[in-house]
Amino acid sequence: MTTVGAVLAEVTGRLQKAGIPSARLDARMLLAHVLEIPVTAIFSHPEKPISDEEEARVRQVAERRLQREPMSHIVGHREFWSLSFKVTADTLDPRPDTETVVEAVLAALPDRRAPLRLLDFGTGSGCILLSLLRELPEATGIGIDISPAALSVARENAKALGLQFRAGFVLGHWGQGVEPAYDVIVANPPYIPDGEIDALEDEVALYEPRGALAGGIDGLGCYRALAPDIARLLKPGGLAALEVGKGQAEAVGRILLDRGLGFFAVRRDLAGVERCVMVKRQMA
């Protein structure tokens, strides 16, 4: 029988040797996951004994991480907007960059207690829609996704957050069959050019659902498909906020403006990248 500290040191070393930048943090999270204890307990009780069975389980999950499987897939969840979201191989892993969309919408709304209607295209885990609903207590929303498996995850997340009665999830392809009108439309559509996906880090290229990444030859295909739906489904005065890839903000803005939507703002993420394009539908 060994101890938490000894196993932590071994797993950290193996992950570092494999070139994983977050080796120490990942090792702590893996141990906490297997032992079902808070990460803080890894620090405070390194002398805690680990059974042979627990050690074997730690080695199993460490091997998965050594194969570059994302931590969120291994532990089954990811924090987003200070909320815990279930994540599977069927959903895009929520990233801090995407919180920019939530921030942008909230900053643009004059009244967070208004009975708003929200629409989320390509909802995946539901992280954007559900985070907004947590901040907008009178709002309701619909999340649309082409993946039944992703929708199942989103429904689980809504229930876990107590939002199942204000959030609905619908199988569909963008705005087909959706009736107007919505106060807020959000989306994090696929925006990686098809030819660049295989060059992404292994955690993304090998494990993320390709349909949630591939944005066509130039990465803008989904924005072109979404633009007419957004123009049709937004209420007059309504707001749309879309995540974009690095260097895409101007092109996405033009696509939306060509559909008669009015430019509102571009919001940068914490790294200074133009990450969210916002447009409004003009008042009638």
Is residue 190 annotated as involved in ligand binding? yes
Q: What is the CA radius of gyration of the chain?
A: 21
Is residue 145 annotated as involved in ligand binding? yes
Is residue 126 annotated as involved in ligand binding? yes
Is residue 219 annotated as involved in ligand binding? no
Is residue 123 annotated as involved in ligand binding? yes
Is residue 221 annotated as involved in ligand binding? no
Is residue 141 annotated as involved in ligand binding? no
Hey, what are 243's tokens?
């995540």
What is the spatial distance between Cα 232 and Cα 260, in angstroms, rounded to a whole number?
10
Is residue 168 annotated as involved in ligand binding? no
Is residue 189 annotated as involved in ligand binding? yes
- The answer to whether the beta carbons of residues 40 and 33 sit under 8 Å apart is no
Is residue 125 annotated as involved in ligand binding? yes
Is residue 124 annotated as involved in ligand binding? yes
What is the spatial distance between Cα 196 and Cα 51, in angstroms, rounded to a whole number?
44
Q: Which residues are annotated as a binding site for substrate?
A: 188-191
Q: Which residues are annotated as a binding site for S-adenosyl-L-methionine?
A: 122-126, 145, 174, 188
Q: Which residues are annotated as a binding site?
A: 122-126, 145, 174, 188-191
